[in-house]
Structure 1
């Protein structure tokens, strides 16, 4: 070609190359920025879907699941899934184009050598698939072991006061070390398999070169291949192997993301067994008549907890359940707001089966004060308003006054803006209990459940809070679970429950006169023995 023509073409070639690199710049920018943004948004949406789904799951689901495992999925698993979703299509598409393109070019250069090359590649693929299947199992085990670490840390830190009070730091370290070492062993196992996978594929890559050189030399000796063609063929082998290297290095990321995705799918595919019916009704003008009709219940088809329970509670009445632990008192109460569903029979409010009522409407009609009060990390105002988020400041103050906690709150430097700490650790047991009572006052439900609400308090706090509870129970249908029988003397009806079901029922005086189980428990307590 004439040098003048070359000099004339050089500027155009330069412009074309600059344009190509400019396009490459925007493409790489798009992949590096918007690809990751897409992954972050995907992770965000998946985390939201997973959290929303977990919120739908019933108590029975959490009875069997570990919070640490779920936290592991919500955080680390979803990150790996998003990384896979971003880099996976990119790596597979680009590598696929390079492999197919170079394979076509190699076929044109020498079809026979390419067939041999293909045979070695197929063996390499079979080896990779086998190793990938092994990696899939071990990476799933990695996830499980990581979840166990999260569970161990969470359990230990939430119970740090108990740990220190018993000077059991050594035991907690041993428990942590056990899970941490199990995770290390699992990781080591996964890296051994990864090592065999990477080394094996490196061996096959080297074998590709050996096969090409040997067969190339054979074809040259036969005069069917030129040395220059062999050199070109060897160069194109690099183009063929480079995307294979990318896919090999991508294998670990794929297995992490795929293992995380399987755990994610396992949760979201678990359908909650307590949901609203399509024609679920909304409770209006609730009177508070409650009826348990031929109720049977067992946890996960195990031992029968409730056996043909029949019970009516009239609106506005105060009914107390007493008896030994494990008799089913808390279970009976848990069936009312549908924390669990009956195995058979029905639970009704104002003649409507609770399974026919919209869950939000049902639970908004029932206030619960429990022995173990849970306060969320935040301010006192936030915790009181949890019963009614849209409540005004005036309503919050009225509820706090009704619960006899307003004066204490105002004595604090920040008043209602005081931060209570995780699980309300900055408050005493009695103060936390009054905050929980204020929540229910604010919610103002027609039905109230008091689940051993004062059993963990000292006598002075119990007496103080008992007055708040009596005020709270006024003009509401109230179900009380109590071990301290002195707190239920004024109940309209007391029902004694044991492993065999309902043993006795009547008011305080009637049951004392019978001289049965209730009288026995009551006399024991007044002799100084507290029934637990």
Structure 2
């Protein structure tokens, strides 16, 4: 059964702490065993000290010893209980810390496709809400179950020793209660799963709308009221689910407690019939029995409640294990080799590469694991076999020699960025091969590929930390001199020194305290500090103004002399001097050559260049028409519709 399998996996979380479990078990046995002694002492007080059989009056010495025992037992039990609570709390929190760390570590190993298909808020909810929801189970439930079971068993044995007839009355309906508890547990488990899904949705809404980007979006489009309403609706759903979960089974427990409450009266009634029938039941026996019955009542109710809590927590454990069971698409091969940074030349080859992004799951559903492609390039996750796959890259082959600058250009959605993701193995190709220094990246360790390849993306991500910490993320042991050298190469050093706190300036969430150009130059400095043999620039200068772009281009020209560089470019001015330019359209390389060669062909590249530069003149729309500039000089103005690039100067006015 699913519950049994989950139970075994949960129990497996405790196996590293066997010694602690033994200590807790001994403490539970001692405290539970000592608790059973008191009723027998009570029986002895009545039958042998206060009202001794055969008369003779009160036996003071015996009474003193018995009363002393009745005082000592709870004192010792309390001391053991304190130590037991410490051990169980320590054990539970250690197990929960292990679970959190294990889940976080596993998520770090997941591939990029998983994160593009899964809401960040849903991931955060698994780490926070789901793991936090099982804390009480991990820290209290195990010892509670053991303690209550021992108490119930010991109490039943003691009750049987006192009177098996009265014991039957006390436990008559217990089997029925157990069956009802199982049914209530199933309902609560379903409600718990839906409650956690609602919490996940609330976390996702919070993450999306209260991040810096989310707040900016809502303010720009005046959607604060919409976001508040969305959160209120989910919050109301959460309240409803919490109430339903809390109230489920309350009627059941009311029946249980009612029966347990009236059982002593039934015991007195049955005892009266037994005495009338001549069965020897002493007053001490009846008092001791009712005392034991009280000790049986609370552990039994607690066991039923704990059982329901376990059923509820299994839903949370199931959600956690769903993530832990995911297999990343990108994994090291068993015989993966390591690239030696000292010997990497930086040659990059793509051989007949085909790639399609895996389909995204429905909103809120965990991305399903797939089987990673074999390193020989044959077969993958089935992409393209049914004829419905949208290929992002189609049969692409090219070579970038060590030290070369290769530029990839093309219209939006043509596959430029996708190609850049394949080289550092952020995705595995569906067909063909990607090679570094003649070795398939799938046959290399991911860590060594990451060391060999550096990347500056168009969406610059900075940590909410200081400038120095952001730069050292690429090289934790970097000296201040190395940091400043990289910053100088990216033309950001002087700007950093102009900040009040210099390199100790906190850049803010995602670097929002910096301008776009400053963030981009800081990202370039970070990758230069890493000093990889292969450098990928994905629109690396797209956020820069003209002056900053010129400064960074000068720095990059120096930096790229010692490494292979693949530049994804929208602004063609940044790649005019590239050794080879690849024009991509529809996932295919349709043209390749130098700037001059591609202009002479008059194909896609020439069209992109003409559209961007208008034959050497840059077009800009203004209030009363279209301006044409050549550099910084205004060369003409056309009123009305913009001129067709390259159509001549007809209609221009000075």
Q: TM-score, normalised by structure 1?
A: 0.91
How much has 1:515 moved relative to structure 2?
1.4
Query: What does the per-residue CA deviation read over 1:80-133, in whole Å, with 9 as the maximum and x for residues that have no partner?
Result: 333212211221112112222222334445545645655521111011011101
Larger mean CA deviation between 133-142 and 181-190 belongs to 181-190
Q: Which residue of 2 aligns with 1:240?
A: 296
Q: Which residue of 1 aligns with 2:354?
A: 296
Larger mean CA deviation between 130-139 and 184-193 belongs to 184-193
- Asked if the contact 2:516–2:544 (Cα under 8 Å) also holds between the matched residues in 1, the reply is yes
Give the 5 Å matches for 1:265-284. 265-284=321-340
Q: Which residue of 2 aligns with 1:136?
A: 189
- Asked if the contact 2:192–2:245 (Cα under 8 Å) also holds between the matched residues in 1, the reply is yes
Larger mean CA deviation between 183-192 and 478-487 belongs to 183-192
Q: Which residue of 1 aligns with 2:235?
A: 180
- Asked if the contact 1:42–1:82 (Cα under 8 Å) also holds between the matched residues in 2, the reply is no
Q: Which residue of 1 aligns with 2:462?
A: 375
Q: Structure 1: which 5+ runs fail to align?
A: none
Task: From the superposition, tell whether residues 65 and 197 of structure 1 become closer, same or farther in structure 2 (CA, over 3 Å).
Answer: farther
Larger mean CA deviation between 189-198 and 179-188 belongs to 189-198
- Asked if the contact 1:384–1:439 (Cα under 8 Å) also holds between the matched residues in 2, the reply is yes
Query: What does the per-residue CA deviation read over 1:159-187, in whole Å, with 9 as the maximum and x for residues that have no partner?
Result: 21222233321122122123222222222
Q: Structure 2: which 5+ runs fail to align?
A: 1-48, 359-382, 384-388, 621-654
Task: From the superposition, tell whether residues 468 and 113 of structure 1 become closer, same or farther in structure 2 (CA, over 3 Å).
Answer: same
CA distance in 2, matches of 1:197, 1:519: 78
Q: Secondary structure at the match of 2:577?
A: coil
CA distance in 2, matches of 1:448, 1:127: 65
Query: What does the per-residue CA deviation read over 1:479-531, in whole Å, with 9 as the maximum and x for residues that have no partner?
Result: 1111222222111111121225221111111111111112112111123579x
Task: From the superposition, tell whether residues 392 and 177 of structure 1 become closer, same or farther in structure 2 (CA, over 3 Å).
Answer: same
CA distance in 1, matches of 2:165, 2:240: 47
Task: From the superposition, tell whether residues 204 and 489 of structure 1 become closer, same or farther in structure 2 (CA, over 3 Å).
Answer: farther
Larger RCO of the pair (alpha carbons < 8 Å, separation 6+): 1
How much has 1:445 moved relative to structure 2?
0.6
CA distance in 2, matches of 1:354, 1:169: 46
CA distance in 1, matches of 2:568, 2:452: 19
Task: From the superposition, tell whether residues 210 and 309 of structure 1 become closer, same or farther in structure 2 (CA, over 3 Å).
Answer: farther
CA distance in 2, matches of 1:156, 1:340: 29
How much has 1:255 moved relative to structure 2?
4.4
- Asked if the contact 2:464–2:511 (Cα under 8 Å) also holds between the matched residues in 1, the reply is yes
State the superposition RMSD in angstroms. Answer: 2.9
Between Structure 1 and Structure 2, which shows a larger proportion of helix residues? 1
| 2:438 aligned residue (326, 348, 351) | 351
- Asked if the contact 1:219–1:225 (Cα under 8 Å) also holds between the matched residues in 2, the reply is yes
| 2:315 aligned residue (259, 263, 268) | 259
How much has 1:351 moved relative to structure 2?
0.5
Q: Which residue of 1 aligns with 2:76?
A: 23
CA distance in 1, matches of 2:251, 2:64: 51
CA distance in 2, matches of 1:128, 1:204: 15
Larger mean CA deviation between 430-439 and 277-286 belongs to 277-286
- Asked if the contact 2:534–2:564 (Cα under 8 Å) also holds between the matched residues in 1, the reply is yes
- Asked if the contact 2:534–2:563 (Cα under 8 Å) also holds between the matched residues in 1, the reply is yes
| 1:189 aligned residue (216, 241, 244) | 244
Q: Secondary structure at the match of 1:304?
A: coil
Q: Which residue of 2 aligns with 1:60?
A: 113
Q: Which residue of 2 aligns with 1:405?
A: 492
| 1:45 aligned residue (88, 95, 98) | 98
Q: Which residue of 1 aligns with 2:506?
A: 419
- Asked if the contact 1:124–1:204 (Cα under 8 Å) also holds between the matched residues in 2, the reply is no
CA distance in 2, matches of 1:213, 1:516: 102
- Asked if the contact 2:184–2:308 (Cα under 8 Å) also holds between the matched residues in 1, the reply is no
Larger mean CA deviation between 238-247 and 221-230 belongs to 221-230
Whether 1:517 and 2:604 are equivalent positions in the alignment is: yes
Task: From the superposition, tell whether residues 53 and 430 of structure 1 become closer, same or farther in structure 2 (CA, over 3 Å).
Answer: same
Task: From the superposition, tell whether residues 529 and 250 of structure 1 become closer, same or farther in structure 2 (CA, over 3 Å).
Answer: farther
Give the 5 Å matches for 1:85-484. 85-111=138-164, 114-115=167-168, 118-158=171-211, 159-202=214-257, 205=260, 233-251=289-307, 253-284=309-340, 285-300=343-358, 301=383, 302-484=389-571
